[in-house]
Amino acid sequence: MNLFSNVSIGKYTLKNRIVMAPMTRCRAVENSCANELMAQYYAQRASAGLIITEATQISELAIGYPCTPGMYTNEQISSWKKVTDAVHAKGGLIFVQLWHVGRVSHSSFLGGNLPVAPSAIKRSGEHFTFEGMKPFETPKELIISEIKSIVQDFADAAKNAIEAGFDGVEIHGANGYLIDQFLRDGTNQRHDEYGGTIKNRSRFLFEILQAVSDAIGSDKTGVRLSPSGTFNDMSDSNPQEHFKYICKKLNNYNVAYLHIVDALEGDIRHGANVVELGLLRDTYKGVLITNGGYDKARGDQTIENDLADAVAYGAIYVSNPDLVERFKIDAPLNEVDPSVFYTQDAKGYTDYGNYSDSH
Give exposure, 71-82, as e/b (b: 16+ Cβ within 10 Å): bbeeebbebbeb
Is residue 100 within 8 A of residue 178, CB to CB? The reply is yes
Is residue 82 within 8 A of residue 168, CB to CB? The reply is no
Integer angstrom CA distances of residue 91 from 80, 111, 163, 239, 313: 17, 40, 19, 39, 19
The two beta strands, 94-99 and 168-172, are parallel
The neighbour count for residue 91, using CB atoms within 10 Å, is 9
| Catalytic-role residue among 41, 65, 72, 177 | 177
**Separation between Cα atoms, residue 137 and residue 83, nearest integer Å:** 35
Identify the CA nearest to 315 among candidates 2, 26, 25: 25
How many separate helices (H) and strands (E) can be counted in the chain? 13, 14
**Separation between Cα atoms, residue 139 and residue 160, nearest integer Å:** 28
| Run of H or E including 128 | strand 126-129
- Output DSSP code: residue 75: H
Task: Specify whether 177 is catalytic.
Answer: yes
**Separation between Cα atoms, residue 309 and residue 323, nearest integer Å:** 18
Q: Which amino acid is at 45?
A: R
Catalytic residues: 177
